[in-house]
Amino acid sequence: MTRAAPRRAGRPASACVLLAALALSGCGIADSGPGYAGAPARGAPTKTADRTLRITLVAPHGSWTVTRSAPAGAGPQQALDALLAGPTTAERARGITTALPSGRHRVRAVAAPGAVDLYLPWLVPELARTAVNQLVCTAAAAPGVPGGKRPVDVVVRVHESGLTGSPWHVRCDETGAAAPADAPRTTGPAPGSAHRPSAEGRRDERSNAVESEGPP
């Protein structure tokens, strides 16, 4: 259960942007396409997965998952470090990129039973929807998350830079996009519509009305 958090003065617009970003991402609008490589959320953990890091990057037509060798005892922090390091030279030559901001940044990742806490150096509305997908899906697919849950069932708690109160509870859905943790499960994007999650108990006293909206 999330808890109510104090309103942060001067940022009402950013709350709306964040809700819209998650709603659109949850429907796969940002990342769907013929080049989609498969969501890192699919499938149960395997011994092979424990020895690799599954990093969500971006190809010309959608999300693209690459693997990196996992050092002994690797966990979500190593996966996020690899994500922020970006594509290799060979991957860039194949058109694989990242939507995360350039420069030297660090996302702190802490594993918990069935969950990963991400402490961002940004506010979520400052990021592209695709970048949010990359962060959430890389964390959800990381090795070393206690509880043995599938990546689609791992809750990612997103803590925004400079904000106090409850984090955002999201997951990497079956389409490989970030979606509210309490959103209905789906096997694929619903054409032409996106459902905004309940916002009761979220920061900035967001409305709990459920709305429907089309692609931008």
DSSP track, 5-17: -PPPTT-HHHHHH
Q: What pLDDT is recorded for position 61? A: 86
- pLDDT score, position 186: 62
Q: In this structure, are residues 200 and 208 in contact, taking their beta carbons and an 8 Å threshold?
A: yes
CA–CA separation, 111 and 76 (whole Å)? 6
**Structure tokens that stand for 48 in this block:** 């092979």
Confidence at residue 50, expressed as pLDDT on a 0 to 100 scale:
61
Parts of the chain with a pLDDT under 50? 1-49, 188-216
Sequence-separated (6 or more) residues with CB below 8 Å from residue 132: 21, 22, 25, 124, 178
pLDDT of residue 185: 77
pLDDT of amino acid 11: 41
- Name 42's Cβ contacts closer than 8 Å, sequence gap at least 6: 151, 152, 174
What's the pLDDT at 9?
40
40: which DSSP letter? T
What local confidence, expressed as pLDDT, does residue 3 receive?
42
Q: Return the pLDDT at 216.
A: 37
Q: Which residues contact 146 (CB under 8 A, 6 or more apart)?
A: 111, 112, 113, 114
